[in-house]
Amino acid sequence: MKAIAVDDEPMALEIIGALAAKVPFLDLSASFVNAFDAIRFIKENHVDLIFLDIKMPDISGFELLKALSKEPLVVFTTAYTEHAVKSYELDAVDYLLKPFSSERFAKACYKASEVLEFRTKTLNPKPEFLFLKSGFEQIKVFFNEILFIESSGNYMVFRLPTSKILSRLTMKEVLELLPETDFIRVHRSFIISKNRVSKIERNHLHIGKHVIPIGSMFMNEVATCFKK
């Protein structure tokens, strides 16, 4: 989750930076004491979340939000309690009253992560299938039917429970078609469905009766994936 912090007090930005470094899924891309620099950055870069002070000398946090055509999620950080109601009217994820603890900061980050995930799923619903060109046909294949995909010459073989489909695609093209949350490349020649794996051993894994090799350059990624 890419974030920035905006506060006219450099010390406050240092504190947010130190706390953000402890949140594994948070990438604090930039910090600004000048709100107008922050507006320019947001317009030119992708930002998921702003840690935003309210009372600043040139422009308030509320006015900064109004200046944006695309509004990231916002967590207000302020020393004043009187703005809490207005902050929630602006759909703020959270309202952190200075000085805030690392636990309180982390809680706000997790809330923002949950909201972002919900928005992403709502605006970009996860696809359930793809169409594969095989010969002169376009075959509809549901992602949850795929056991694994194997490279074979100029073709990719999509292995399903009771059949297989050959399609003239490259490994790169297939990876771009598949949802990365459900599939992982485990070998130069194999992509597998994470949900179909029944057993993992040192150099190979099992999907039903099929034994799939794990390439040496993919072992760390596979190990990390299945530790989750």
Whether 210 and 119 share a structural domain: no
Whether 101 and 118 share a structural domain: yes
Instruction: Look at residue 227 in the predicted model and tell me its pLDDT.
Output: 79
Whether 133 and 119 share a structural domain: no
Instruction: Look at residue 145 in the predicted model and tell me its pLDDT.
Output: 96
Instruction: Look at residue 124 in the predicted model and tell me its pLDDT.
Output: 64
Check which CATH number belongs to the domain holding 174 and give it: 2.40.50.1020
Whether 181 and 202 share a structural domain: yes
CB neighbours (10 Å) of residue 48? Answer: 19
Given 76, 106, 123, which residue is the final one in a domain?
A: 123
Q: What do you get for the CA distance between the two ends of the chain, in Å? A: 19
Whether 118 and 133 share a structural domain: no
Instruction: Look at residue 228 in the predicted model and tell me its pLDDT.
Output: 59
Asked whether the bond before 99 is cis by omega within 30 degrees of 0, the reply is yes
Q: Which positions of the chain have pLDDT values less than 50? A: none
Q: Provide the total of helices (H) and of strands (E) in the chain, helices listed first.
A: 7, 15
Instruction: Look at residue 83 in the predicted model and tell me its pLDDT.
Output: 78
Instruction: Look at residue 136 in the predicted model and tell me its pLDDT.
Output: 87
- Tell me the pLDDT tens digit for each residue of 70-108: 779 999 999 888 877 787 778 899 999 999 999 999 999
Whether 45 and 140 share a structural domain: no
Instruction: Look at residue 66 in the predicted model and tell me its pLDDT.
Output: 87
| Domain tally, the chain | 2
Instruction: Look at residue 151 in the predicted model and tell me its pLDDT.
Output: 96
Instruction: Look at residue 187 in the predicted model and tell me its pLDDT.
Output: 97
Whether 150 and 219 share a structural domain: yes
Instruction: Look at residue 123 in the predicted model and tell me its pLDDT.
Output: 67
Q: Which residue segment(s) compose the domain that 214 sits in?
A: 129-225
pTM of this structure: 0.57
Rounded CA-CA distance 159/148 in Å is: 6
Token pair of 13 as six digits: 């930005």
Whether 168 and 216 share a structural domain: yes
- Cβ pair 63, 89 in contact under 8 A: no
Burial class (CB in 10 A: 0-12, 13-18, 19+), 94: buried
